[in-house]
Amino acid sequence: MTTTTEVDLDVATYCLRLGDDALVLAQRLCEWAARSPQLEEDVALLNLALDLLGQARSLLTLAGVREGRGRDEDALAFLRDEPDVVNLQLVELENGDFGRTMARQLLVAAYAVPLWQALCASTDADLAAIAGKAVKEVAYHLDHARSWVVRLGDGTEESHRRVQAGFDEVWPYGFELFEVDPLLERLIARGVAADPAALQQVWRATVEEVLAEATLVVPETGWRPTGGRSGAHTEAFGYLLAELQHLHRSHPGVSW
Amino acid sequence: MSQPQRPLSGSPQRPLSGSPLWEVFVRSRRGLSHTHAGSLHAPDAHMALRNARDLYTRRQEGVSIWVVRAGDVVASSPDEKDAFFDPAGDKPYRHPTFYEVPDEVQHL
């Protein structure tokens, strides 16, 4: 058995963060099952969720390997309590109406595209391999979100009002996407992680372009909620986690 | 110019969901033709193509998709079936079955 180094632990935490983002957003999107505006959109949203779940599985598995404590993807997904789950608060926000879900999707996807593009060149070969697959998936996620935001924003009076309200609600949570802490600084210096400063420019340009095309305005707010990376979550998160974990916890080791 | 006699599937142009119906054609591999895969609702061509991708190529069924508004498809009528298709029934000489294909000929 190889020795776990400091770098391994940093990479494990980084993978855990990205994996939790994907896992939690997948769970949220699953809530649309059988509730979408159209049957076609039901399948589309769950396709996105399945992509994200696949990313989460790869990332949590890699996190478990690097951590070296014998935890597999299931142990990490189903057996951590709320303070140990380190996703961004943006991805755990409740779906709201379809407009708000699409607003959240756009903010996440416009970040995920440059993130995974950058990680394709990560000095960590395993992470770069995951990125190589994810980058194609999130390109479609951005296309999907962009298509809907433009149609809702530049659609009817009601769709415009509702998707704008959705952006107003989720916008403050976007700042957390680009926070940097000492762990991230170490990984950026090693060429493992993507630098949020570079991502933010691309993100901002993408989001502003889509909002302009959708005749929506960029929300202005000074409120910057934060804390997801250190396990602080919104009130709704406990219910999400309970639904995600209860089967595995009630029936340990259960499988299809 | 007259309207199509009967839209494929006979559905109204704008059903309750508010989106028109589209027919989806998928080409499974290079070199093959697009084949009718099914239909779906979408507000416009852009979304129809994306819905088709999500509904009909989930299992790598395709490398190319066409979508056509169902109302733009002009279909033959079941009432005309006899006149359209029966006359071909007794003309076996139209089938290339009266000569030997040499063994050397491939890809036929």
Distance from CA of A40 to the nearest CA of B (A): 6
Give the C-alpha separation, A39 to A35, whole Å: 9
Q: Is A70 exposed, middle or buried (0-12, 13-18, 19+ CB in 10 A)?
A: exposed
Test the B interface: residue of A29, A38, A105 with most B CBs within 10 Å: A38
Please check whether residue A1 lies inside any domain of the structure.
Answer: no
Pairing, β B64-69 against β B34-41: unpaired
Q: Does B45 touch chain A (CB under 8 A)?
A: no
Are the Cβ atoms of A41 and B46 closer than 8 angstroms? no
Please check whether residue A255 lies inside any domain of the structure.
Answer: no
Average pLDDT along chain B: 83
* A56-68 pLDDT tens trace: 999 999 999 999 9
Give the C-alpha separation, A167 to A216, whole Å: 9
> For residue A140, what is the domain's CATH number?
1.20.1260.10
Q: What is the pLDDT of residue A253?
A: 79
**Chain B contact set for A105 (CB, 8 A):** none
Are the Cβ atoms of B43 and A39 closer than 8 angstroms? no
**What is the mean predicted confidence (pLDDT) over A129-150?**
97
The A residues from 20 to 49 touching B (CB cutoff 8 Å) are 37-41, 43-44, 47
Topology adopted by domain B8-76: Ubiquitin-like (UB roll) (3.10.20)
Q: What is the pLDDT of residue A2?
A: 66
Give the C-alpha separation, A62 to A57, whole Å: 9
Q: Indicate the SS3 state at residue B89.
A: coil
Give residue B15's pLDDT band: very low, low, confident or very high (50, 70, 90).
Answer: very low
* A16-33 pLDDT tens trace: 999 999 999 999 999 999
Residue ranges covered by each domain of chain B = 8-76
Radius of gyration of the CA atoms of chain B, in A: 19
Give the C-alpha separation, A208 to A64, whole Å: 37
- Cα A7 to Cα A4, A20, A124, A229, B3: the distances in Å are 8, 20, 11, 18, 69
Are the Cβ atoms of B17 and A38 closer than 8 angstroms? yes
**What is the mean predicted confidence (pLDDT) over A188-208?**
97
B97 vs B73, more confident = B73
Q: Does A169 touch chain B (CB under 8 A)?
A: no
Average pLDDT along chain A: 96
Helices and strands (H and E) in chain B: how many? 2, 3
Q: Does A154 touch chain B (CB under 8 A)?
A: no
Distance of CA A237 to the CA centre of its chain: 14
Are the Cβ atoms of A40 and B46 closer than 8 angstroms? no
Pairing, β B21-27 against β B64-69: antiparallel
Q: What is the pLDDT of residue B6?
A: 47
For tokens 């926000």, name the residue.
A93
**What is the mean predicted confidence (pLDDT) over A189-204?**
97
Test the A interface: residue of B40, B44, B54, B65 with most A CBs within 10 Å: B54
Give the C-alpha separation, B101 to B99, whole Å: 6
Domain that holds residue A117: 6-250
Give residue B17's pLDDT band: very low, low, confident or very high (50, 70, 90).
Answer: low
B95 vs A182, more confident = A182
**What is the mean predicted confidence (pLDDT) over A106-115?**
98
- Least Cα distance to A219 among A150, A163, A176 occurs for A163
Q: Does A144 touch chain B (CB under 8 A)?
A: yes
Q: What is the pLDDT of residue B13?
A: 45
Please check whether residue A194 lies inside any domain of the structure.
Answer: yes
Residue A47: closest CA among chain B residues belongs to which residue?
A: B54
Q: Measured between CB atoms, which of A38, A143, A147 is closest to B19?
A: A38
Query: Could you say which DSSP state residue A36 is in?
Result: S
**Continuous segment of H or E residues that includes residue A41:** helix A39-67
User: Buried (b) or exposed (e) across A32-62, using 16+ Cβ within 10 A?
Assistant: beeebebebbbbbbbbbbebbbbbbbbbbbb
Give residue A255's pLDDT band: very low, low, confident or very high (50, 70, 90).
Answer: confident
Q: What is the pLDDT of residue B1?
A: 41
* The residue count for chain B: 108
Q: Say how many domains are in chain A.
A: 1
Q: Measured between CB atoms, which of A40, A43, A47 is closest to B42?
A: A40
Residue A188 structure tokens: 């950026």
Please check whether residue A256 lies inside any domain of the structure.
Answer: no
* B22-69 pLDDT tens trace: 999 999 998 899 999 999 999 999 999 999 999 999 888 999 999 999
